[in-house]
Amino acid sequence: MTAKQKILLIDDDKDFLFATKLILEKGGYEVFLAEDGKTGVEMWKSINPDLAIIDMMMETWGEGFSVLNKIRATDTGKETPLFMLSAVDLQGPYQSFEPPPEFPTVNKVLQKPIKADDLLGYIRQALGVK
């Protein structure tokens, strides 16, 4: 039996966490939940997930970026796919946003709400699953 791939969800919206957990578990993943950035970074270090989805704005406007930096600074976080998630409309002037060189790399920026099939498709693509 093959071990399930692990996904860490970091978001302060409990409803989103639980709804997304159901979607991901139905998709065959083992899912871990963190309701704040600090807990998310601690869980990252202990569970070594295959992918993480991080909310952009939690306790503070930039909390998601702080979490992203801390995860990318770990040995396992350098290459693991990380998705950033936001309820903020990322269209318009944000489409041409060029992050500074010190900005941590993110594999995908997702907009809330996201369709279940789209989310699962992005995850399969990032993890190289067919």
pLDDT band at 90; cut points 50, 70, 90: low
Q: Identify which has the larger pLDDT, 17 or 96.
A: 17
What the chain holds in terms of domains, given with CATH numbers, is: 6-115 (3.40.50.2300)
For the residues of 42-105, what is the DSSP string, one character each? HHHHHH--SEEEEES-SSSTTHHHHHHHHHHTSTTTTTS-EEEEESS---GGGGG----TTSPP
pLDDT band at 42; cut points 50, 70, 90: very high
| pLDDT tens readout for residues 105-130 | 788 888 888 899 999 999 999 998 76
pLDDT band at 46; cut points 50, 70, 90: very high
Looking at every residue in the chain, the average pLDDT score rounds to 86
> What's the order of all strands across the beta sheet hosting 82-86?
30-34, 6-10, 51-55, 82-86, 108-111
Model pTM above 0.85: yes
